[in-house]
Structure 1
């Protein structure tokens, strides 16, 4: 298996079918529009390939906040359903860990929906712990993917 860092819209669009495992109603046009907004704001993806087929990926952002200093935020951690329990999630996580160290980050942050218990277990096993609540106030429910 090989990990590749995706930094361009064409590279990311090639992996659209993987994104659809998490967002089945996402259109490629909407995905591309989001990427055009996100990439200039430090968005990248780490993707795992097996025989040149994407079997998992995560988006990530690099930034600085007052409470953390430099940090990486994981965004949309996806492993192809046919390839789960093969260590792909750990490969992605290790890549992000190394990227955070390379960028001299103090931490890695992520959101996991409250009812997504398998994700909670996965993240706990990787050393993540809840630090607080991520509150949202919905302005336009139709805008969600």
Structure 2
């Protein structure tokens, strides 16, 4: 497979998004289908969007994203749940998705791209550094 055989398509309908559960599970192994559907139904009214990298009819890479504004960053595109199928990694698909998201940010007149990466995911860190991302700060969580 060559990267020229990859097409990028926005995934706009909930059923299409739900069909990608298997990819989301590679990033979040404990994410049940029911929980995935519940979260998407909460996120979609708040302008959550999704894009996929397809080899033919098969989605082999995926990223959600949001466009919004924060005081420290200005208008931004936030990458959410960026994942490439395990069997397709190291084939340039992540780069293709990242480039598409960068162009989408430009299209929306964003000043920045941002994302969260799990602290333990060193392979993702290397990829994001190669793509020109820097560490700006920490993302803190507290359960309620």
The CA distance in 2 between the partners of 1:62 and 1:25, in whole Å, is 27
Give the secondary-structure state (helix, strand or coil) at the position aligned to 1:85.
coil
Deviation of 1:17 after TM superposition, in Å, equals 1.4
Aligned residues: 139
Q: Which residue of 2 aligns with 1:27?
A: 32
Deviations 1:103-142 (A, max 9, x none): 0000001011222211111000000000111111122xxx
The CA distance in 1 between the partners of 2:125 and 2:34, in whole Å, is 31
Give the secondary-structure state (helix, strand or coil) at the position aligned to 2:53.
strand
The CA distance in 2 between the partners of 1:59 and 1:123, in whole Å, is 16
Q: Which residue of 2 aligns with 1:94?
A: 99
The CA distance in 2 between the partners of 1:84 and 1:130, in whole Å, is 23
2:58 maps to 1:62: no
Q: Which residue of 1 aligns with 2:137?
A: 132
Spell out the pairing of 1:1-145 with structure 2 (5 A cutoff).
1-139=6-144
Gaps in structure 1 of 5+ consecutive residues: 140-145
Structure 1 residue ranges (4+ consecutive) displaced by more than 6 angstroms after TM superposition: none
Gaps in structure 2 of 5+ consecutive residues: 1-5
TM-score normalised by length of structure 1:
0.92
Contact 1:68 1:107 in 2 (8 A): yes
Aligned-residue CA RMSD in angstroms?
A: 1.0
Deviations 1:32-66 (A, max 9, x none): 11111001111111100102101010111111111
